[in-house]
Amino acid sequence: MSSGIALSCVLWVVATLSPGLVRAELASPAPGPISGPTPAQIAGPILVLGDSLSAAHNLPASRGWVALLEDRLRRHAQPAPKVINASISGETSAGGRSRLPALLSEHRPALVIIELGGNDGLRGLPPAQLRENLDAMIAASREAGAKVLLIGIDVPPNYGPAYRRRFTAVFHELAEHWQVPLLPFLLDGVALNPDLMQADGIHPTAEAQPILLDSVWSVLEPLL
């Protein structure tokens, strides 16, 4: 998100292994579960298309939640899916829509995580425009054979209840229409905690990134 807009308001960035059945011989105890990485179910890269919230704004890239996601995937599944972070600070849904076709062609992702719309909201752009852009991105990802995870956001209360209601409804309506998993609010548990937000009141600190990852992971894990 552009820091100029960010200074004026606070963004509210509005999921199994079946254990093997072991037959015990007589009174011999059954072996315990085997720990370690499980076979990966995502047969290809994971593409993250987002704005500054996914681009580790003002932080080392290695501290952002997307980098932490790649680290967790290495422990969760083998072979671990590669994570491509195509997030850009200040990106709008229109910008993401324009870049996505080339990214799909280049990386051929198995999963696309879309985290866009915050800058649309901060600029007061029409929710119908956001819906059109997100819908096109989900459609393009599906057409390319990729699963989709949608990360929704919110706008500050000073934008008014009517705008805020229409804006947040876009994510829920698209998730239901396309039957894709939705994380409604990336900054849940973070946005209202000043100790977890940078001085601009918009971007989360390094200490907040593991919390963001846990929120994303709760929706992402069932897809893996």
Question: Would you state the structure tokens that stand for residue 82, as one six-digit string?
Answer: 């590669």
- Cα–Cα distance measured from residue 121 to residue 58, given in angstroms and rounded to the nearest whole number: 21
Q: What percent helix, strand, coil does the chain show, rounded to 5? A: 45, 10, 45
Out of 51, 154, 203, 215, which one is annotated catalytic?
Answer: 203
CA distance 111 to 99: 16
Told to judge if 195 belongs to the known catalytic residues of this protein, a careful annotator would answer: no
Give CA–CA dist 95/101, Å, rounded. Answer: 11
Alpha carbon distance 12, 29 (integer Å)? 52
Among candidate residues 135, 172, 188, 200, the one labeled active-site is 200
In the residue annotation, 200 being an active-site residue is answered as: yes
The DSSP bridge partners found for residue 154 are 12
Rounded Cα distance between 130 and 117, Å, is 7
Catalytic residue among 52, 93, 141, 215: 52
> Could you confirm whether 203 is annotated as catalytic?
yes
Buried-state track 141-173, b at ≥16 Cβ within 10 A, e below 16: beebebbbbbbbbbbbeeeeeeebeebbebbee
According to DSSP, the residues that pair with 183 across neighbouring strands are 151
Going from the C-alpha of 83 to that of each of 73, 74, 86, 173, the distances in angstroms are 9, 11, 10, 27
Q: Which residues have a catalytic role annotated?
A: 52, 200, 203
